[in-house]
Amino acid sequence: MHYLLTSVFSTLPLYNALQVEYQEDVVALTPPGVLRRSFPYLRSLLQLALAGALLAGLLWRVDLSSVRDELERATLWWLPLAFAAVLVSHWFRALRWQQFFQPMTRVSVSFLFGTAVLGVACNMTLPLRAGEVVRVQVLRRRTGLSVSSIVATVISEKLADTIAFCSFIILGVVLYEEARFLWPLAVLYGCLLTGWTIGARWLAGRSESAEELVSQPEGRLRAWVATELRAFGHGLQAFRRPGAMFTVFWTSHVAWLVEGVVYYACGRALGLDLSPAVYLLVVVVASLAVSVPVTQAGLGVFEIALTGLIVAFGVDKSQAAAFAIFSHVVLALPYLVAGPMAAVAMKLSLADIVFLRRAREEAVETAPA
């Protein structure tokens, strides 16, 4: 399962939860049993156990003392460059994300930047990539847009990443024989991007005619589907604007090129002698690894994937494992610090991040006196 589909599917269950509207009459529900209440904790423990098993298996196959020595010899002067590159990369993604919102409403780049950083921080601390839902929730409350329209922009943003990924894989396949095993992934990404672009343009055009179905009194399900499709299509209007698509194209490449600087700095800190183009392939493989919601924040999966890729380019197993572990820590630290800071800077309350209050209560609070 690749980066894009897992991001989309992991969003769907909580996306449905965001759509719930409470009725005036509240029906008392039977309290959940002990097993049901403990399921989230068991799931988290299972993910941690799996991550621990994957890391243990990786370290068992390499020389643990050599990995420790590599990490102890790391040159920390490269860390400021890596931390800065992590945040700069998200600034360009915020510029790209803004293009998807422009046909609907004006959202500042700084707000989208803070929302994206907060979402990644939540992905690292919450299960099933729930940070994607946090992004939808924050934008829903601050912009007033429908959930369907916002989800359309989130999916479009994820699929726009494949623009850069395809370019990086093609470059790697041309330059290095070791990267030829990645060409099926480039074909898959290209097909997904082409299909989504064609479908998005069609849905964006059909979203205007869907209003006729909404106005028909018969068929509540048909009207609901038409309403959601129309809102979803509104979130895809940027695909009908060549200027917006050009901005999406270049910002996608710049954002992931800057993220490649993060891995380059980590490699230099550990003394790796690799071509800068190799780190672009590292970007693709790392993004694919962390997107699989098998373990929390891709812990274990990330390390195994990067170690295997770096070993394919002639690096010693112990040094490759040290690079994977070091890179994961360097990537996580800026988000864990900047995520809470972004929430404070945007003056977000807990209700802005999670769905705590009923729609009826919110309506009463916002009603004029």
pLDDT in tens, 218-244: 567 777 877 888 889 989 999 999 999
Tell me the range of 20-34, 85-99, 204-218, 349-363 where mean pLDDT is highest: 85-99
What's the half-sphere exposure (Cβ side, CA atoms, 13 Å) at 330? 32
Q: For 57-66, write each residue's pLDDT tens digit.
A: 888 888 888 9
Task: Write down the pTM of the prediction.
Answer: 0.82
**Is 53 contained in some domain?**
no
35 versus 330: the higher-pLDDT residue is 330
Q: Report if residue 47 sits inside a domain.
A: no
Q: Residue 322 in contact with residue 59, Cβ under 8 Å?
A: no
- How many distinct structural domains can be found in the chain? 1
User: Containing domain of residue 135, as a range?
Assistant: 3-10+62-203+242-363
- 290 contacts 302 by C-beta, under 8 angstroms: yes
Answer yes or no: is pLDDT of 353 > 80: no
Q: Confidence band (pLDDT; 50, 70, 90) for 363?
A: very low
pLDDT higher than threshold 50 for residue 355: yes
Residue 329 domain flag: yes
Closest by Cα among 116, 51, 122 to 87: 116
pLDDT digits (tens, 9 = 90+) for 42-95: 777 887 888 888 888 888 888 888 999 999 999 999 999 999 999 999 999 999
Q: How confident is the model at residue 309 (pLDDT cuts 50, 70, 90)?
A: very high
Rounded Cα distance, 61 and 141, in Å: 49
Answer whether residue 57 is part of any domain.
Answer: no
Nearest residue to 208 (alpha-carbon basis) of 247, 241, 170, 236: 236
Residue-wise pLDDT for 168-180, tens only, equals 999 999 999 888 8
